[in-house]
A and B are shown apart, each in its own frame.
Chain A
């Protein structure tokens, strides 16, 4: 009877709470309701003469109650209750299908064995337990994620595992289901390329916890691994390049191993290393080989009792550029520095130094020019002419020798064109040349003193900084140690620009040796400015390192320094058509993102171009992808390619310009079956715990999986649901309204007022 009148079970009213679904705008009708009640009351007040007070009170009360019932119904009352679901909750189980799951310790089961045992359709204990309470949906994830019916579909042979993509896929697949939670079973050797944190927060907000079960050892007892290799993306042919090799090891402290570096199977370098505890980083100067995209392979000795030997080798790509780079050397007065700089790089086929020297007032001499028109009007006055160079050397040039427009162009040359600027010391350089308050001070890596000291002249011995020891331009011997030793034996030079400070963010490379009376002066510092580099080399006669009587005739230090310095200055200067890959190595089936910057002849971004990326497979077949404009960065174009087959691919970008096809420098893409799956393959407990914590889930090791069911049961989302029940059409309200109206009519009849 009660359930008929109230429409819902009486328990709902005991547990639930009453809310209204009345839209905000309808609340504005409340004054109208009050006015209506007032109107009723006023009507009875007017009948005062015909009616006694007791009657007026009774009738007004009955009419008001009836009106209240109507208003209550119109306010769309709801009853909010949580109710037990009739169906079971759903649990999504994500099983790691990557290669690293096949890893096993000596005498131990592999990581994948846990999955095989626990999720076997017939004997899997964990699967059975889960299925007793939940509807279990299985997914496998690796390079891609897909739903599976059973573990027969697992082969543990995928490349890099992308967890963010896997979680997003599972959530999307189970949308609308009463999801009690997701369970990730993995070794944590994951590559969360997507926005994992955002994804976990959204799962938490939707009350979908992610529980993680970590498989494997979180720390190998004995293993050596090359954890990373850093190389510049491109380097000029014949240049020295610094390779930074990071090595991690456990269990082999002090053990000597050999590091072998090969350039396309030709031995480039070999070195004995004594392994240090934890992670160590080694910088190795390498001579670059022939021009083109080179693949360098780094191998460390493998040990018989090592956990994983596949992680003792890594590859890295290096583009060796054989472009002729143009350098403009501007001197405000004849100086031997120009003579010896030109001599130092004269044999370098990749460097062309054009000299412009003021030999007298308003009289200039050009040297090393490529055509009779080059620099005919002195220092370039147009952006096109200046931007045809890749680097500028500013010698002893006073500020007034450059117009404001020319100085602004130099700033743009560095920041926009990406050119290199080398500011040399001299009597007309830096503050002594009036540059202190110019825009050139703004792009300089050093703080020029406020006051010029034209009489300052000091003989200084050079002291290399720690950064110089590993800087490719300043490696003047075969190793960092020898290089530092060589720097310290070089003859003193003369400095006429007393600079003490570098700017924040700049790197100090060389300074004068300090003594007890004097702080050191800055001899060389550099920083990035926009797309380019700016170097301050505040000495005026580095040629003494060629001419000094202590320098042997066969000594190539001066030549080597200048070749390296100018090459380093220009090697990252962008071309008008460039190509960047998101990775140099991916797993088969993975996606590579390509990005190309396209510039006009004046090096402004070129819009509405249609660059094509060309991927050439090892068998010579080509795939062409038209890159699409990046809506955020004008002149940038991008695209993605999925590469299914392993192999060593060549990639370049082409662009139709006028009647010809411009082609970017080529690079290589290495596609392997395993990708980087065997690197950093220890169970990443930290990551798996973070995944659980951020989504209100829990982390378990295999012995603790019996707690997983309880953790899933704790989530009401999977077994109960939240209901909002409409109350406006309850029979009880209709009965009450009719009763009130009948009562009023009966009262009137009884009192003779009808």
Chain B
């Protein structure tokens, strides 16, 4: 019952003007100051695209910290696509929440980026662990190479010292819950996306092969979805940029929507 891929490409192409309008409403610059939205009017929407605010090694208050990379434009543009392409009743704006915020558990799907610079406090690690064990799903994006992986692994071991990180098999429902994702592709950042059209590489550092890995609970349900060596957020953020290749944006929207639908049904 899935749409053919060309159809979704066409839909996403149609989205670009809307995304351009959305962009015009944003403040300039790739990183925006965080404005956590925990005081929501009674969860009146079903879905809030929630970005995790975590402590990081390179926190820079002028720029908002590494958690805020591509924030909020990427979030807004992804929400536009989600609202247009699915039946999800999604709140149309950004929603960044600190890991230790008690309100975090009102949002069962959490998005985090640049986790190579994550440096969780014990309270954050405990809150994240409880969030995931209660039934939340963490989607991780935009960290590259072995150094970042090792750093992330250290952080995850604070959260789950005894759980393995494994490759999510291609037949897993997360790859066909809404769109059929036949192959995991590497989504470059905006600069390399432009270079890739001219024969340049799409990877950063030594992150040559993209991966979708996961941490599963005792019943085989995904708790953490790890998009390593890929940058979905940039593809969302720059989907309205004519210089950014459409195929990357299309893939990023497709797998992003799959993550959301999966997180709401499994």
Identify the A interface with B (CB < 8 A).
332-336, 338-340, 342-343, 346-347, 355, 357-361, 363-365, 367, 427, 457-459, 494, 496, 540-541, 543-544, 546-549, 551, 553
Contact = CB atoms under 8 A, between A and B. Distances in A.
Nearest to B102: A549
9 contacts: A333-B46, A334-B47, A334-B86, A336-B46, A342-B266, A359-B86, A546-B135, A548-B106, A551-B134
Sorted nearest first, the 3 A-B pairs with minimum C-beta distance are A549-B102, A457-B44, A334-B264
A458 B41 CA distance: 9
Contacts of B221: 343
A339 B87 contact: no
B264 A338 contact: yes
Contacts of B44: 457, 494, 496
A457 B42 contact: yes
Nearest to A355: B265
Contacts of A363: 1-3, 87, 178
Given A338-B264, A339-B263, A548-B105, A333 B89 contact: yes
Given A360-B85, A547-B136, 7 more contacts: A333-B46, A334-B86, A338-B265, A340-B135, A365-B261, A427-B46, A546-B135
A359 B104 contact: no
A347 B217 CA distance: 14
Contact of B134 (A364, A541, A546): A546
B206 to A, nearest CB: 37
Contact of B265 (A334, A547, A551): A334
Nearest to B44: A457
Nearest to B101: A549
A41 B184 CA distance: 130
Contacts of A336: 46-47, 108, 264
A549 B87 contact: no
Contacts of B85: 360
A732 to B, nearest CB: 108
Contacts of A361: 87
Interface in B161-194: 173, 177-178
Interface in B217-266: 219, 221, 260-261, 263-266
Interface residues of B, number: 36
A102 to B, nearest CB: 62
A333 B43 contact: no
B133 interface: yes
B256 to A, nearest CB: 14
B108 A365 contact: no
B178 A547 contact: no
B88 interface: yes
A532 to B, nearest CB: 27
Contacts of B105: 547-549
Contacts of B106: 544, 547-548
Contacts, number: 100
A457 B43 CA distance: 9
B201 interface: no
Contacts of A541: 43
Contacts of A357: 265
B130 A553 contact: yes
Contacts of B86: 334, 359-360
Given A336-B46, A494-B42, A547-B106, A343 B135 contact: yes
B103 interface: yes
Contact of B133 (A360, A544, A553): A553
A338 B47 CA distance: 13
A459 B178 CA distance: 31
Interface string B23-47: 0000000000000000001111011
A334 B42 contact: no
Point out which of A340, A355, A494 has the most chain B C-beta atoms below 10 A from its C-beta. Answer: A494
A364 B47 CA distance: 18
A339 B264 contact: yes
A450 to B, nearest CB: 23
Nearest to B178: A359
B257 to A, nearest CB: 9
A494 B1 contact: no
Contacts of B135: 339-340, 343, 543, 546-547
Contact of B87 (A358, A544, A546, A553): A358
A544 B104 CA distance: 11
A553 B1 contact: no
B195 to A, nearest CB: 34
Interface in B120-135: 130, 133-135
Instruction: Count chain B CB atoms within 10 A of each CB in A336, A357, A367, A496 and give the residue with the most.
Output: A336
Nearest to B103: A549
Contacts of B103: 549
Interface in B38-65: 41-44, 46-47
Contacts of A549: 102-105
A358 B105 CA distance: 25
Nearest to A363: B1
Residue from B42, B103, B104, B265 having most chain A Cβ neighbours under 10 A: B265
Contacts of A548: 105-106
A342 B38 CA distance: 27
A361 to B, nearest CB: 7
A565 B104 CA distance: 28
A494 B43 CA distance: 7
A221 B106 CA distance: 61
A298 B130 CA distance: 43
A53 B182 CA distance: 136
Given A339-B108, A549-B104, A334 B88 contact: yes
Contacts of B263: 339
B265 A553 contact: no
B46 A335 contact: yes
B264 A332 contact: no
B144 to A, nearest CB: 31
B89 A547 contact: no
A367 B87 contact: no
B191 to A, nearest CB: 33
Nearest to B104: A549
A339 B88 contact: no
A147 to B, nearest CB: 72
Nearest to A427: B89
Contacts of B3: 363
A339 B266 contact: yes
A560 to B, nearest CB: 15
Nearest to B130: A553
A544 B102 CA distance: 13
B104 A339 contact: no
Contacts of B136: 547
A400 to B, nearest CB: 14
B265 to A, nearest CB: 5
Interface string B80-94: 000001111100000
Nearest to B3: A363
Contacts of B266: 339, 342, 367
Nearest to A546: B135
B1 A365 contact: yes
B42 A458 contact: yes
A358 B136 CA distance: 22
A548 to B, nearest CB: 6
Contact of A333 (B87, B130, B134): B87
Contacts of B219: 346-347
B43 A365 contact: no
A364 B41 contact: no
A347 B89 CA distance: 29
